[in-house]
Amino acid sequence: MRAIWKGAVSFGLVNVPVRLYSATENHDVQFRQVHREDGGRIRYRRFCSIDGEEVSYDDIAKGYETEDGDMVVLTDDDFADLPSRSSKEIGVTKFVPADQIDPMWLDKSYYLEPDKSATKPYVLLRDALESEQRVAVVTVSIRTRMTMAILRVRDGVIVMQTMLWPDEVRAADFAAVDEQHATRQEMDMAKMLIDQLAGDYDPAEYEDDYALAVKELVRAKVEGGEVRVSAPEEEESGEVVDLLAALSRSVERAKASRGEAPSSGGGQGSTVSKSSSGSTKKAAPKKSSTTKKAASKKSAATKKSAAKTAKKAEKKAS
């Protein structure tokens, strides 16, 4: 494991330098959105919903949507004025009985590892929490935002679990449940069922059968040759891989250099000259011999360049 945060636990005059590690990881099955026909990855672009233009990361800001649906754009200066802390201290505010902390309030879990020089105070805090059957309520700043958390002991290691704020836990308001109660006979039968299924919890007895089934399905398809290799993404160098596309663009550029009209749906290099009013210009008057020679040389150079591009693309495609 790699530490994601370094700081110190502080209670009273005791300071314990520690490193923070994620205590859990997600093994849920992950899928990609692909084209059904060829297995190509689906890519998304960032477009503005108002002008329809693609937006670069530099032009993206944070917006807060009000209850009325209005959008308030917040700048870096706005966030600079908000309360934030980058403290590296895990400050203990209270030691409370462990049974007072409802599991519903707990969020993410982290292991705390002491520095080699802080092993003794770390062990002191661990043993004190265990012997008193209490947890430490602390404040900690993760990613510049202060949050509440608790410190408890699990398998001889201090675990920090961040907590939700009180307004983030919803109240259960189900009137129909409050109005009904089980009869004595129903309770006796329920107790009998509980006794029959009573036992100790062993995590090894449970497994994610869905994830295992998906992995087995994928393995069978791989062994059966049902694999679609996605085409490599176009490199930023702009080198053309598709031979037909290279030839098509070369032809259009050659036509443009001769002043000919491009084919319908021509390549990237094709253009149509228009007047300021938007109408297409008429054919230009005949060129002089000097102009013709220059155009001839330019055309020959263009054809030569096109031939090289096509040859290079064909070689790479083979």
Query: Region 162-190: what's the mean pLDDT?
Result: 87
Give every CB contact of residue 117 below 8 A, 6+ residues apart in sequence: 17
Predicted local distance difference test score (pLDDT) of residue 278: 41
Q: What does the H/E/C string look like for 37-90?
A: CCCCECCCCCECCCCCCECCHHHCCEEEECCCCCEEEECHHHHHCCCCCCCCEE
Placement of tokens 């992995």 in the chain: 215
Instruction: Give tens-digit pLDDT for 19-65.
Output: 999 998 888 888 888 888 888 888 888 899 899 899 988 899 999 99
Most confident of 86-95, 123-132, 258-267: 123-132
Q: What is the pTM of this model?
A: 0.59
Evaluate whether 139 touches 148 at the Cβ level (below 8 Å).
yes
Tell me which DSSP letter residue 123 carries: H
Helix (H) / strand (E) containing 151: strand 145-154
**Three-class secondary structure of residue 194 per DSSP:** helix
Instruction: Give tens-digit pLDDT for 200-225.
Output: 989 888 888 888 888 888 888 888 88
Evaluate whether 33 touches 41 at the Cβ level (below 8 Å).
yes
Bridge partners of 109? 161
Instruction: Give tens-digit pLDDT for 92-118.
Output: 999 999 999 999 999 999 999 999 999
Minimum mean pLDDT range among 115-129, 130-144, 172-186: 172-186
Burial class (CB in 10 A: 0-12, 13-18, 19+), 159: middle
